[in-house]
Amino acid sequence: MNLIEIVSAAIPLVIAGGLIGIIKYKFPKGNISSLKYAFIWGIIAGLASVFIQYLAHWMNLDSLRSLKRMTFFAFIVVGGGQEFFKFLVLRFYALPKNSFKGSSDGIIYSIIIGMACCFVILIYYILSPTMKNLPYYNPMITTMGLVSVIFAIFMGFFTGLGKARKNKFVDSMTGLFAAAFIHGLYKFCFYTEEYTLGVIAAIAELIIAIILIIISVRTQEVS
């Protein structure tokens, strides 16, 4: 592993650890064990995602020879697969908890789960010889940790909103499909080497993610 790979793999761990540390500092008497378990479940979600990508490789679906293959692999196999497994953890582990009350909690849990999953995927990419031959390998692994936070904010906000509004199914599905789409778009821009589109999309998604955080904080203050 070179320096870029080490730093890239460390980013999701630092983000998850930093977020848990901030919550522990802000609520010293609070119980953060559920966040730690969420991280562990996130690792399992990452392993499941790796298995799906392994199956796709075995079926030669990762041979991106056409735009159709690129679209399918980016949005269904990678974006859809990873976000689906993260969603399962968020929906069936975190959401039922009494401490999970709204969009703010959804974002926190989603980021923790997302960082764990991202870490596993990064290790898989770093240890894969075929990945290192790709022209976009370094830009992709260095940005994965940060963009995964944005995916998590989208999913966590809507999933948490569903619990607050007693509308779990519709809002949860909105969060899942939104996260899967922007994740798929992120990978699609690398596969097609449409970097300008990728930058524009990333800026737009970042702005929306910030707005969602502001809304969730204000909603929590009102409640």
Task: Give the pLDDT confidence of 132-179 residue by residue, as tens digits.
Answer: 889 999 999 999 999 999 999 999 999 999 887 877 889 999 999 999
Quickly list H helices, the chain: 3-26, 33-58, 67-72, 81-89, 103-127, 129-132, 137-164, 168-191, 195-222
Best CA proximity match to 202, nearest among 115, 121, 140, 118? 140
State the pLDDT at residue 222. 61
State the pLDDT at residue 177. 97
State the pLDDT at residue 165. 82
Find the domain containing 25 and state its range.
Answer: 3-222
pTM of the model: 0.95
Query: pLDDT (tens digit, 9 = 90+) per residue, 90-135?
Result: 999 999 998 888 999 999 999 999 999 999 999 999 999 888 889 9
| CB neighbourhood size of 131 (10 A) | 14
Q: Which residues contact 216 (CB under 8 A, 6 or more apart)?
A: 102, 103, 104, 106, 107, 157, 160
Domains held by the chain: number: 1
pLDDT grade for 185, boundaries at 50, 70 and 90: very high
CA 50 – CA 78 distance, rounded (Å):
9
